[in-house]
Amino acid sequence: MEGGSSVAVVGAGLVGCSWALVFARAGLDVAVHDADAAARSRVRDRIAAWLGDLAAAGLLEDEAEACLARVRLCDRLDEAVRSAAYIQESVFERADVKAEVCRAIDGAMRPDAVVGSSSSGIPASRFTEGLARRNRFLIAHPVNPPHLIPVVELVPAPWTDADAVSAARALMERVGQSPVTVNREVEGFILNRLQGALLNEAFALYREGYAGLDDIDRTVRDGLGLRWSFMGPFETIDLNAPGGIADYAARLKDLYHSIAMQRTAPEPWPDEVVKRAETERRAALPATALTKRSAWRDERLAKLLAHRRGEG
């Protein structure tokens, strides 16, 4: 990924627009393509609104206008990717759509460019196998919205060049994201496997009547989640026993093993349990208020980020 710091984003929905903002605010020129003209017409307004939110939270180091000026909209995919050193694919989460778009990128990209896919769960090997430059493709899975949540999982296919992974990692660090390298493909990558373990247990405890939905949420919001906003589970337990992680394991590994042995035959979340959870959630937050609450979440996230920056 030498000689040039321009990037391209293909697919300009929620995640693609947020990626464009991540690159533009870091000073990179971003070419953005979406197959849908209506989606292209929304890009500038969406990014401008987010830039306003970032500026209000004290999270923007450059002028909003200057950031926006670095975003170039392209009607054609080849025009967007032709000279890009890095391309972020962010189209629909469907293997056939990703395969078609990656074929088009493959035919138009620089031979040394790197292509990261925002895929939430489909591994790169499912849609890049037949490409001429398949060795330059990998997963770069963000958390929504990437301009507020920095982690990005980099997951190579079996044929991805090691230097493509390291170049993507270096770029993500340069633009202020927090890259995680997953050494080989695994369903759900790391983040959704961890989230899935917690959700599976939360649904089981709720179904079995051990606690209500709100109290389970409260356990994370007012308990585990407070530490998790600045340290992970391994560092957490390293500090939770006087002798560190080995001491913690010696004291509590039998308890955790016993708990794990109680869930040896996991089931899909039962429909009636999901329905009950939905009824409770809609009583707490009507469907008409979901968008407003999402905006509130993003505002809180921005304040949390500003706080973390202030703490160094």
> Which amino acid, residue 43?
V
If binding is defined by CB under 6 A, does position 119 make contact with ligand NAD?
Answer: yes
Maximal C-alpha separation, the chain: 61
Peptide bond into 179 cis (omega under 30): no
Minimum distance from CB of 98 to ligand NAD (Å)? Answer: 7
Q: What is the 3-state secondary structure (H, E, C) of 179-228?
A: EEECCCCCCCCCHHHHHHHHHHHHHHHHHCCCCCHHHHHHHHHHHHHHHH
Please state, in angstroms and rounded to a whole number, the distance separating the CA atoms of residues 6 and 3. 9
Among 7, 8, 87, 91, binds ligand NAD (CB under 6 A): 91
Q: Per CB under 6 A, which of residues 144..163 are in contact with ligand NAD?
A: 144
* CA-based nearest residue to 202, from 178, 221, 228, 176: 221
How many CB atoms are closer than 10 A to CB 180? 16
If binding is defined by CB under 6 A, does position 123 make contact with ligand NAD?
Answer: no
Cβ(145)–Cβ(18) below 8 Å:
yes
Segment near ligand NAD (CB under 6 A); pick from 97-105, 159-167, 255-263, 276-284: 97-105
Please state, in angstroms and rounded to a whole number, the distance separating the CA atoms of residues 144 and 15. 7
If binding is defined by CB under 6 A, does position 16 make contact with ligand NAD?
Answer: yes
**Cα dihedral angle (162, 163, 168, 173), rounded to 10 degrees?**
100
Please state, in angstroms and rounded to a whole number, the distance separating the CA atoms of residues 310 and 312. 5
- Contact letters (x/-) for ligand NAD, 17-46, by CB under 6 A? -----------------xxx--x-------
Segment near ligand NAD (CB under 6 A); pick from 89-97, 127-135, 154-162, 237-245: 89-97
If binding is defined by CB under 6 A, does position 120 make contact with ligand NAD?
Answer: yes
Q: Minimal CB distance to ligand NAD: which residue?
A: 13
Segment near ligand NAD (CB under 6 A); pick from 95-103, 191-199, 221-229, 303-311: 95-103
Among 90, 128, 160, 177, binds ligand NAD (CB under 6 A): 90
Which residues lie closer than 8 Å to 269 by C-beta, 6 or more apart?
Answer: 200, 203
In the bound state with ligand NAD, the residue whose beta carbon lies nearer, of 4 and 13, is 13
Which tokens in the block code for residue 115?
Answer: 């292509």
If binding is defined by CB under 6 A, does position 132 make contact with ligand NAD?
Answer: no
Minimum distance from CB of 57 to ligand NAD (Å)? Answer: 20
Which tokens in the block code for residue 184?
Answer: 């080989």
If binding is defined by CB under 6 A, does position 210 make contact with ligand NAD?
Answer: no
Segment near ligand NAD (CB under 6 A); pick from 50-58, 90-98, 192-200, 217-225: 90-98
If binding is defined by CB under 6 A, does position 81 make contact with ligand NAD?
Answer: no
Total of chain residues touching ligand NAD, rule CB under 6 A: 24
Backbone angles phi, psi at 126, to 5 degrees: -80, -15
Minimum distance from CB of 3 to ligand NAD (Å)? Answer: 26
Q: Which residues would be at the binding site for ligand NAD (CB under 6 A)?
A: 10-16, 34-36, 39, 90-93, 97, 100-101, 118-120, 141-142, 144
